[in-house]
């Protein structure tokens, strides 16, 4: 059985992408998993995260990201960084970059036949008047809290969008 996006098992693939896959994209994956679970959509989704650079392959999320996430009830400790590859475009029908620089890299990698959605995560919440989720890596704990604030808003919007389509 295939869904409207062509997922072979009927699940819709959602991928979150940042540079190293240790701060923003694993945070987005963890928050979105929790949001989708609360909405009753988790069984119909294939959710993952990846990075555009190979700096941290196999590493857990940044300790500061894990602490901030845990404070809000999200557990991302078991996630491990991985590099995006061209095969991800066949697996994921929705690919969300955390910022414009990573979106440009994904656009270059995207196969010509990809018919899914490739865009910025924060475009789901235009009322925020931001397009890029800021990279908190070189800052303090407040940067990781800001990432969570933004990702929570975008996750709610994505769940609303998916719930209003065939992903029920």
Cite the active site residues.
18, 24, 135
Contacts 24+ apart (CB under 8 A), 68-73: 68/27, 68/141, 68/144, 68/145, 68/147, 68/148, 69/27, 69/30, 69/31, 69/148, 72/148, 72/152, 73/34
CB 120 within 8 A of CB 96: yes
CA distances from 160 to 25, 42, 79, 120, 131 (A): 20, 13, 25, 17, 19
């Amino acid at each position: 059985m295939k869904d409207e996006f062509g997922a072979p098992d009927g699940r819709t693939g959602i991928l979150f992408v940042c540079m190293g896959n240790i701060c923003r994209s694993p945070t987005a994956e963890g928050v979105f998993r929790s949001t989708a679970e609360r909405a009753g959509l988790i069984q119909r989704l294939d959710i993952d995260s990846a990075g555009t650079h190979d700096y941290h392959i196999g590493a857990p999320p940044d300790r500061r990201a894990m602490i901030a996430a845990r404070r809000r009830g999200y557990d991302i400790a078991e996630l491990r960084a991985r590099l995006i590859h061209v095969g991800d475009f066949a697996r994921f029908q929705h690919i969300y970059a955390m910022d414009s620089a990573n979106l440009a890299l994904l656009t270059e990698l995207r196969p010509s036949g990809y018919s899914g959605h490739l865009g910025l995560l924060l475009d789901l919440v235009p009322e925020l008047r931001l397009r890029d989720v800021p990279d908190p890596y070189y800052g303090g704990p407040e940067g990781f809290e800001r990432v969570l604030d933004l990702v929570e808003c975008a996750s709610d919007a994505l769940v609303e969008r998916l719930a209003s389509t065939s992903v029920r």
